[in-house]
Structure 1
Amino acid sequence: MSTSFLRMILLAVAADGSLAMGHKAARSFRFASISVDAAIKYQEVDGLGASQAFQRAEDVLGKDGLSPSLQANLLDLLYDVDSGAGFSILRNGIGSSNSSASNYMNSIEPFSPGSPYAKPNYTWDGYDSGQFPLAQQARARGLQTLYGNAWSAPGFMKTNDDENNGGYLCGVTGETCASGDWKQAYADYLIQWVRFYEEHGVKVNNLGFLNEPQFAATYAGMLSNGTQAADFIRILAKTIKRERMELAINCCDGIGWDEQEAMMAGLQAGPDPAEAYLDVVTGHGYSSAPTYPLSTTRKTWLTEWADLDGDYTPRIFYDVNGPGEGMVWARNVQIAFVNANVSGFLYWIGAENSTTNSGLINLLGDEIVTSKRFWSMAQFSKFARPGARRVEALSSAELLYVSSFVNTDGKIATQVINNDTAAYDVSLTLDGCRLLEKRVVPYITDNENDMTELAPVLLANDGTFRTTVPARSLVTFLAI
């Protein structure tokens, strides 16, 4: 705990085990109750994470001067659950470019074989724009899920003969090409990318084939509606089955939650609905946020979102509620899990050489600068582990927001976000749980703290404890 934090709130541990504050600060206290019922269970958690696509993996591997020791520290920060955030999902881009210049992600089939029925000429460089060695390092630190996601098919498989500027996959409903139907060739291409990874010792868990299919970007991308995505999903599923691979299918990484919802009708239509072959429905948060459950029985992930336009705010948890601040992203994560029932939440980039908010961590030469966005996500990722279940959590205060998760080892992680100007004296009750030690360890992130561990408190026999949640803060209470 920082000394400035101690001076600011005059924190002391009371005799009854609660967190008490000095008299002057206590006058601004408000009072609230929080109840957690571990017997009321919701969705399973797959985890949190980010991507290092478009050669951002090379940033982590020292392309611009990050020393080997800091590379190891950075990888620990991202993927090690003991010393860092323990991010459990990594989204790797499946390249479609015939070079690796600039930010391009190189393709395993850089040139057309001439037709969709000709033998492809696959190539593997063992590097994959830095993503393969990064995935190796992440796996070594406990990464649970590797999500391979293609932004586009190679240009020669598309109606515009270009990996960029939109275009459709040749052969989907309403889209034909003189060269033929490339759906099966694209499925084979994606499977070969997975096979290259696995032949070299890195397991791929999930596979996606679209990114923001509503947006004709100047970079790699491919357009699709729900019906067209369904055309390809059926073929991809049959190909996975034919190859006897253990591989989950994701779709469709819509540019916003509403746009992904609009694709669901096409994925669910017909006598052979493509949704039946899906494992995870994926969407982004840019044009519309994940504030409600998608119309599907499948798991859902928020697979990309970031502040792409705001001012540089690496070390601000709360100031003016700006789009890059930690408080905003703490609420984004919590709302996605509680209101939209997501099982996974991924920021855009984990770490990159930049002074923008598009990454969680900024690399400045041989310096690592963690943002409060990173620490906000860490307070969920570190303590609500893959396999956990979200459970019922209620707060009596309007600006005191809560979520809670029961892990497979029985530990309960409860996140409390205080977006008020005053601290709260809280009575927190844990029902329906079996704890070995009946001890609760608080961790706080605010303007002065980065997931700082505070003194533990003991639960009473009825599962209740008293605590303080400072103003403008995020506190995770880990019950053991």
Structure 2
Amino acid sequence: MKRFIPLLAIPLLACMQAGEKTDLTKKRDEMAEGKKASIYTTAKDTDLRLNKSGSVQFKKAKQALETENSIFVNPNKTFQTFIGIGGAITDSSAEIFAELSKEKQEELLQAYYSKSGIDYSLMRTSIHSCDFSKGNFTYIEEGDKELKTFSIEIDKAYRLPMIKRAIEKAGGSMLFYASPWSPPAFMKDSKNMLRGGKLLPEYYDAWAKYYAKFIKAYEAEGIPVWGVTIQNEPMATQRWESCIYSAEEERDFLKNHLGPILEKEGLGDKNIVVWDHNRDLITHRANTIFDDPEAAKYAWGTGFHWYETWRKGNPMFENLQRIQESYPDKKLLFTEGCNEAFDPEKYQYWPNAERYGHSMINDFNRGTVGWTDWNILLDETGGPNHVNNLCFAPIHADTRTDSLIYTPSYYYIGHFSKFIRPGAKRVSTVSSISFLESTTFVNPDGKMVTVVMNSTDEEITYQLYVGSSTATSITIPARAMQSIIY
């Protein structure tokens, strides 16, 4: 990829607070004039898949017109600091990976974790089993409330080897976090890891110590753990591993058990993420936990998923903005999303990719600092999944033919992850027309990335304004995503 001289290589920018101005950023729009921007495009019904599709040159801007389609970037207004984009390595992903030939394994790692691929920079996994395991299991013997039998030996067969190879391919470091789907059965009122149930109060301390043991065990394997979420989907009674916490129960577990115990175990630097569920009830959960100073001091921020649309409504992006306004010191992290209801006839179904683009643009524009896809790899059945909850991944393996199938979602995610790097700052960006969605980040090296999505069936020409400069007219194909690098 041809590299252009950054408009400004100023580490100072990475430290700016929201809306803060400096003399250097005031000059950025002036310096854009005369510079070139590279355009990368993915488009339906074409061969364009994250391909460089052209370049444009910035010139002094004229007054924008109502009859034009315009994207306005104000480089003097920056917001949250970006921490990364990635996906989850589940037991299913790891076991499928192990079935592939060495050549296909290397291809998959290159595709996700190298600079020649889409350069993932964060990773999630489960604390013991989830639905994307071949069965439910824990790291202790049933009934061991003192955790004397704790061992992650089961993860050493498939999951840990893949995680280690992925981190190595990514350059040796990765923001890595983990989430539990259910405590062991004996710790719950239902005596079952599946179908909901609640953690019994007498096991709150034991369960909190379980997180500490997990963190220490993974770090003993050479995998630094950035943090944990308290509970995957704490308001969903699922047919798979699940556990219910009311807002008050999660608050009190964090305040009186998990937070203090991680500190006592020397793990007070680990980040604890609350909620880890959909955007619909997220504000109530944040209000309940963050309005309690003793609980809030242990919470890094709020995790969320995108599945609130199961009730046939639209994604609740505005709820994220309300949290950001109310608790600006607490971060927002997208912790899971995938396209449900696997169907092999829909590998190339374009709306699946557009769901990613729509969510990522709108999540980032509401203050989200990182974005985590669900399984990075599933097989030709959309699994394996021990309760038949079969889904899509950006890449599928056909284990019958030792082949990899790249879906459009892989490329749409790549329009963000490949070009926006950890430490980047989001930059004020708005569109003059509703059918063009856009966001912008400035990387630590000063290079800016504007991502634009056209989900209409028509080719659209638009003007990209950066301060007082504008790029020569840019055309985005129908049903397409573009990343403009300048």
Shorter-chain TM-score bucket reads 0.7 to 0.9
| Corresponding residue to 2:200 among 151, 159, 170 | 170
TM-score, scaled relative to structure 2: 0.77
Whether the 8 Å CA contact 2:334–2:370 is kept in 1: the answer is yes
For the residue of structure 2 that corresponds to 1:184, the secondary structure is helix
Partner residue, 2:107: 73
What is the identity, as a one-letter code, of the residue corresponding to 2:94?
Answer: A
Partner residue, 1:392: 428
Partner residue, 1:438: none
Please state if 1:248 is matched with 2:271: yes
Residue 350 to residue 216, structure 1, CA distance change in 2 (3 Å): same
> How do 1:370-449 and structure 2 match up within 5 A?
370-431=406-467
CA distance in 2, matches of 1:431, 1:105: 54
Whether the 8 Å CA contact 1:225–1:266 is kept in 2: the answer is no
**Which deviates more from structure 2 when the two are superposed, residues 348-357 or residues 130-139?**
348-357
Post-superposition CA distance 1:276-317 (Å, at most 9, x none): 211121111112434122524311112112221264422243
Larger RCO, structure (CA 8 Å, separation 6 or more) = 2
CA distance in 2, matches of 1:301, 1:102: 24
| Corresponding residue to 2:125 among 89, 92, 95 | 92
Please state if 1:120 is matched with 2:148: yes
CA distance in 1, matches of 2:349, 2:213: 43
> How do 1:325-364 and structure 2 match up within 5 A?
326-338=353-365, 340-356=366-382, 357-364=391-398
Partner residue, 2:340: 308
Please state if 1:477 is matched with 2:484: yes
What is the identity, as a one-letter code, of the residue corresponding to 1:330?
Answer: G
Partner residue, 1:109: 140
CA distance in 2, matches of 1:190, 1:78: 28
Deviation at 1:404, TM superposition (A): 0.4
Residue 349 to residue 167, structure 1, CA distance change in 2 (3 Å): same
Partner residue, 2:285: 263
Deviation at 1:465, TM superposition (A): 3.7
Post-superposition CA distance 1:193-238 (Å, at most 9, x none): 1111111111111112311111111211110011111121122111
Indicate the percent of aligned positions where both proteins have the same amino acid: 22
Deviation at 1:424, TM superposition (A): 2.8
CA distance in 1, matches of 2:284, 2:157: 33
Deviation at 1:242, TM superposition (A): 1.6
For the residue of structure 1 that corresponds to 2:232, the secondary structure is coil
Deviation at 1:379, TM superposition (A): 0.6
Residue 347 to residue 102, structure 1, CA distance change in 2 (3 Å): closer
What is the identity, as a one-letter code, of the residue corresponding to 1:351?
Answer: L
List runs of 5+ in structure 2 lacking aligned partners.
1-40, 59-66, 310-314, 383-390
For the residue of structure 2 that corresponds to 1:308, the secondary structure is coil
| Corresponding residue to 1:238 among 260, 278, 283 | 260
CA distance in 2, matches of 1:54, 1:12: 38
Residue 120 to residue 269, structure 1, CA distance change in 2 (3 Å): farther
For the residue of structure 1 that corresponds to 2:112, the secondary structure is helix
Partner residue, 1:187: 208
Whether the 8 Å CA contact 1:48–1:381 is kept in 2: the answer is yes
What is the identity, as a one-letter code, of the residue corresponding to 2:440?
Answer: S
What is the identity, as a one-letter code, of the residue corresponding to 1:348?
Answer: W
CA distance in 1, matches of 2:132, 2:470: 58
What is the identity, as a one-letter code, of the residue corresponding to 2:439?
Answer: S
Deviation at 1:140, TM superposition (A): 0.9
CA distance in 2, matches of 1:146, 1:264: 23
Partner residue, 1:445: none
Deviation at 1:33, TM superposition (A): 2.5
What is the identity, as a one-letter code, of the residue corresponding to 2:121?
Answer: S
> How do 1:131-170 and structure 2 match up within 5 A?
131-142=159-170, 144-170=174-200
Deviation at 1:394, TM superposition (A): 2.0
For the residue of structure 2 that corresponds to 1:61, the secondary structure is helix
CA distance in 2, matches of 1:162, 1:154: 8
| Corresponding residue to 2:250 among 208, 223, 229 | 229
Whether the 8 Å CA contact 1:55–1:129 is kept in 2: the answer is no
What is the identity, as a one-letter code, of the residue corresponding to 2:375?
Answer: I
Residue 13 to residue 392, structure 1, CA distance change in 2 (3 Å): closer
Whether the 8 Å CA contact 2:88–2:372 is kept in 1: the answer is yes
What is the identity, as a one-letter code, of the residue corresponding to 2:373?
Answer: Y
Partner residue, 2:331: 299
Deviation at 1:159, TM superposition (A): 1.4
**Which deviates more from structure 2 when the two are superposed, residues 279-288 or residues 359-368?**
279-288
Residue 133 to residue 310, structure 1, CA distance change in 2 (3 Å): closer
Partner residue, 1:130: 158
**Which deviates more from structure 2 when the two are superposed, residues 149-158 or residues 123-132?**
123-132
What is the identity, as a one-letter code, of the residue corresponding to 1:79?
Answer: Y
What is the identity, as a one-letter code, of the residue corresponding to 1:93?
Answer: S
For the residue of structure 2 that corresponds to 1:167, the secondary structure is coil
For the residue of structure 1 that corresponds to 2:405, the secondary structure is strand
List runs of 5+ in structure 1 lacking aligned partners.
19-29, 172-180, 433-461
TM-score, scaled relative to structure 1: 0.78
Structure with the higher fraction of residues in helix conformation: 2
| Corresponding residue to 1:276 among 271, 275, 297 | 297
Structure 1: which 4+ aligned runs deviate by more than 6 Å? 11-14
What is the identity, as a one-letter code, of the residue corresponding to 2:317?
Answer: T
Whether the 8 Å CA contact 2:342–2:392 is kept in 1: the answer is no
Whether the 8 Å CA contact 1:106–1:129 is kept in 2: the answer is no
